[in-house]
Amino acid sequence: MTASVVKVRWADQNLKHFGKKLVDLNTRFPKVLPRIVNQVGDRAKTQVIRNLTRQTGLPRKTIVNAVGDPGRAHARRLSYEMVTRGGNIRLKFLAPRETRPGVTAKPWGKRQLFPGTFMKGGRFPHRKVVEKFNGHVYRRLNTSGTRITQARSGMFIPTEMTTGATKAAFERIAGPLLKQRRGRDPQAARMT
């Protein structure tokens, strides 16, 4: 299994935009700017998790674990990094239900059929749970059924994090909020 890794380093791009004013601010008040970047980053992370949960159809807990703890800004690095990992998501995590033609699951929040997949053993209608499957969904690799593999959705969390509603929410929050917070009086920002 290959895991995809995406690093989103948005603060560096926004900070370059402000140039000399930020260099001066960071020289005079070295704790203020990283604090502002981290506050904005935390708010953006909340929106990313909220939108990514809706966009993928995965449980919020799974998304929180996938996004993990961010790389926070400090005096020598004015960036807030959200790093996510994740390969092709297994159907087990997408509310699977077994039907006669195959298992249905909800990737991208929409229920769809994965023909020929299964979660239980035996003949219909007397199917039985197979303990060693541990809730996973399987697909046969040969006609005799002696070779099986776990079924996957075709959805990758890092890809989803940088597209669609999640990306739009991030851009809607991060840039404007950073501009707004940066515009405050440095002494006032220091007290918060």
Average pLDDT of the residues in 124-142: 86
Percentage of the chain lying above the pLDDT 90 cut: 28
**pLDDT, position 124:** 79
Of the ranges 23-37, 42-56, 155-169, 176-190, which one carries the lowest mean pLDDT score?
Answer: 176-190
For the chain, what is the mean pLDDT? Answer: 80
Strand partners, 115: 102
Higher pLDDT, 62 or 21: 62
CA-to-CA distance for 152 and 16, rounded, in angstroms?
41
CA-to-CA distance for 8 and 163, rounded, in angstroms?
12
**pLDDT, position 120:** 86
pLDDT digits (tens, 9 = 90+) for 109-127: 899 999 999 998 888 788 8
**pLDDT, position 156:** 92
Helix, strand or coil, per DSSP, at residue 114: strand
Confidence of residue 191 (pLDDT cuts 50, 70, 90): very low
Model-level pTM? 0.70
Average pLDDT of the residues in 101-115: 93
**Burial class, 185, CB count within 10 angstroms (exposed 0-12 / middle 13-18 / buried 19+):** exposed
Higher pLDDT, 85 or 52: 52
The 112-115 sheet, strands edge to edge: 97-98, 102-105, 112-115
Average pLDDT of the residues in 41-47: 89
Confidence of residue 15 (pLDDT cuts 50, 70, 90): low
